[in-house]
A and B are shown apart, each in its own frame.
Chain A
Amino acid sequence: MEAKTRDLWVFVETNVDGTAKNVGIELLTPGRTLADGQGGRLCAAVIGYRAEAAVQEAAAHGADVVYTVDGPEYEHYTTDAYAAALTRLVEKYGPTSLLIGATANGRDLGPRVSSRLGTGLTADCTGLAIDEETGLVRWTRPAFGGNLMAMILCPDHRPQMGTVRPGVFKKGPAKTPHAEIVREDIRVAPEAIRTRVVELIRELDAEGVDLESADIIVSGGRGVGGPEGFAPVRALAEALGGAVGASRAAVDSGWIAHAHQVGQTGKTVGPRLYIACGISGAIQHLAGMSGSEIVVAVNKDPEAPIFRAADYGVVGDLFEVLPALTEEVRRLKREKQSGKS
């Protein structure tokens, strides 16, 4: 495909209720920088059903143009419907770059679209910039379980595509929208959708876990000793407004559901704050949380490898330290709320 514009597009994934998933809005932040750097407009591509709220949110967060495709066939994500719609939009308007949030659906959609367009995709980027030498988007991403970083360019194929995990960039403030809204009527016939959701089996103890976009995660490992051992972990997470994670050891021992597992065969997370409690620091676990901005380790064993990966290490019994932390967090928040600090 040849680019027709110098625009940068951000695919904004929607929820079933028509609101935007956070990651799409987050990507408008670096999207603005890249669009300006490329000399084009920042555009959002919103696909969904009755997704006016998502369109407005994209407009309020700086998009110059919001392309929207709306229809019942897009109410729930399917590869066929979304790939068809996004590809046709891109082929019609020819952006030079396209960002997609790396949610489970985004990771399903991105490579399908990039392959259909015959272009290059760089997945799970942690850094985005305009390459000074070439003017191309420079995509930075981890490989080898986070042991190596690679800077990638897509010199000759368009659009230059990349996926970015939730939480890597922060949502900007909402402003007065100035976007042009372009509604495209793209229909996908039911026969063209080759997958069918039969049912959803909810995992009872998953507790609505969304580790991948959590800002703060408190994780428990072998050191918590059992399912009851997660109580102080949960209490601290709650006090901090964060999510609960777990190491593979804790999950394999049946103390907590797999949905909470952080690590190579679990989830990859990149919170602002990651607190690892009773976790030794096996490489598979570190691979999952190495994207964390600040790492705190709480462990009885001063030799535990986790301390080498931590910004702050507390040597002590987590059953004493965590309740103390929880208490202190609550106290600090009370102070802030009453404007004392």
Chain B
Amino acid sequence: MKNHILEKRYHIEIIPPRHDADDLESDLATFAEKYRRVMDSGYCVCLTDNAMGRMTFQGHEVITELGLPVEPEQVMIHLNTFHSKEQLDEILTALQALGVKYLLVVSGDGAPNMMRLTPRDLGSEGLSVTSVELLRYIRANYPGFVPGVAFNPYEPAEAEFAKMERKMAAGASFIITQPLLGRNEMFERLLAKYPDVPVIAEAWMSKRAYLLSDVVGYEIPTDAAYDPVATLKELVALYPRCGFYLSILGFKTQYPLIGDIWK
């Protein structure tokens, strides 16, 4: 992961097509186009796992179905705790077979009707399954992966740093944060605490900053002016030590601009 930062390799998030897609064929074609473009640019494609509790096809399934290329340094797959044990092992085995290396291990948002891993499933003595237990399970049973974890600079600091210590102890290799809107004190504290860990900051590339209100914990007005490209430039300048994860990237107008911002 360190090399991603040294080589200025963006992480670009793509959400796989939904189970209830109106036109799956078309969605798959769009997905394939974006995926290949990210590959060709030398960036790393990051595929989500039922983001926001909305059922989508798994990254490995889409890659296999479309025959998309997997370069170990260019693919990262999200994995959350909202799976049955069978589904979990199926996913990990398939990813292994494809040669995927990087995982982002998160607890996940889930939805009321989704299956969830139990402590018993993972041989854990704990009371519930979070990214920590999942991470331990992966480290113990699928040692070939390089797993990373999430950091939320908008949660109460003490709890979040305590969580990060547990994640590190469980074997996390890198950290990806929630979207940064500019200079962020807690983020800087993270960098100071873990100088040798690759840290990747998320940049929200949609103009609709208000969609982040739940994430940041305060109401962002719907008409708030937000310039994602300018924000990205600012973050690149502020945090030269970090990598950058772009979510909701506009492939038509924004994509051509990002190459010049971080180089």
Give residues in A with beta carbon < 8 Å to B.
225-229, 248, 252-255, 282, 284
Question: Is the pair A248, B128 in contact by a Cβ cutoff of 8 Å?
Answer: no
Residues in B with CB closer than 8 Å to A284 are: 112
What separation, in Å, do the CA atoms of A284 and B126 have in the docked complex?
Answer: 26
Question: Is the pair B116, A229 in contact by a Cβ cutoff of 8 Å?
Answer: no
Chain B nearest Cβ from A252, distance in angstroms:
5
Residues in B with CB closer than 8 Å to A229 are: 127
Sample (23) of A-B pairs whose CB atoms are under 8 Å apart: A225-B127, A225-B128, A226-B126, A226-B127, A226-B128, A227-B127, A228-B127, A229-B127, A248-B112, A252-B116, A252-B118, A253-B116, A253-B118, A253-B119, A253-B127, A253-B128, A253-B129, A254-B118, A254-B119, A254-B120, A255-B127, A282-B112, A284-B112
- Among residues of A, the one whose C-beta sits closest to the C-beta of B121 is A254
Chain B nearest Cβ from A203, distance in angstroms:
16
Chain A nearest Cβ from B172, distance in angstroms:
23
Residues in B with CB closer than 8 Å to A227 are: 127
What separation, in Å, do the CA atoms of A24 and B205 have in the docked complex?
Answer: 64
Residues in B with CB closer than 8 Å to A255 are: 127
- Among residues of B, the one whose C-beta sits closest to the C-beta of A222 is B128
Residues in B with CB closer than 8 Å to A226 are: 126-128
What separation, in Å, do the CA atoms of A248 and B116 have in the docked complex?
Answer: 11
Chain A nearest Cβ from B143, distance in angstroms:
26
What separation, in Å, do the CA atoms of A255 and B120 have in the docked complex?
Answer: 10
- Among residues of A, the one whose C-beta sits closest to the C-beta of B125 is A226
Chain B 105-155 residues near chain A, CB threshold 8 A:
112, 116, 118-120, 126-129
What separation, in Å, do the CA atoms of A252 and B116 have in the docked complex?
Answer: 7
Give residues in B with beta carbon < 8 Å to A.
112, 116, 118-120, 126-129
Residues in A with CB closer than 8 Å to B128 are: 225-226, 253
- Among residues of B, the one whose C-beta sits closest to the C-beta of A248 is B112
What separation, in Å, do the CA atoms of A226 and B118 have in the docked complex?
Answer: 11
What separation, in Å, do the CA atoms of A37 and B116 have in the docked complex?
Answer: 52
Residues in A with CB closer than 8 Å to B129 are: 253
Residues in B with CB closer than 8 Å to A248 are: 112
Residues in A with CB closer than 8 Å to B120 are: 254
Chain B nearest Cβ from A220, distance in angstroms:
12
Residues in B with CB closer than 8 Å to A282 are: 112
Chain A nearest Cβ from B8, distance in angstroms:
42
What separation, in Å, do the CA atoms of A253 and B126 have in the docked complex?
Answer: 10
What separation, in Å, do the CA atoms of A122 and B116 have in the docked complex?
Answer: 36
Q: Which of A254, A255, A282 is most buried by chain B, counting CB atoms within 10 A of its CB?
A: A254
Chain B nearest Cβ from A140, distance in angstroms:
28
What separation, in Å, do the CA atoms of A66 and B48 have in the docked complex?
Answer: 65
Residues in A with CB closer than 8 Å to B127 are: 225-229, 253, 255
Residues in B with CB closer than 8 Å to A253 are: 116, 118-119, 127-129
- Among residues of A, the one whose C-beta sits closest to the C-beta of B126 is A226
Chain B nearest Cβ from A294, distance in angstroms:
26
What separation, in Å, do the CA atoms of A40 and B119 have in the docked complex?
Answer: 59
What separation, in Å, do the CA atoms of A225 and B128 have in the docked complex?
Answer: 8
**Shortest Cβ-Cβ A-B pairs, 4 listed:** A226-B127, A254-B118, A253-B128, A252-B116
Chain A nearest Cβ from B92, distance in angstroms:
21
What separation, in Å, do the CA atoms of A254 and B127 have in the docked complex?
Answer: 9
What separation, in Å, do the CA atoms of A225 and B127 have in the docked complex?
Answer: 6
Q: Which of A228, A229, A252, A282 is most buried by chain B, counting CB atoms within 10 A of its CB?
A: A252
Chain A nearest Cβ from B116, distance in angstroms:
5
- Among residues of A, the one whose C-beta sits closest to the C-beta of B127 is A226
What separation, in Å, do the CA atoms of A72 and B118 have in the docked complex?
Answer: 45
Residues in A with CB closer than 8 Å to B112 are: 248, 282, 284
- Among residues of A, the one whose C-beta sits closest to the C-beta of B129 is A253
Chain B nearest Cβ from A154, distance in angstroms:
35
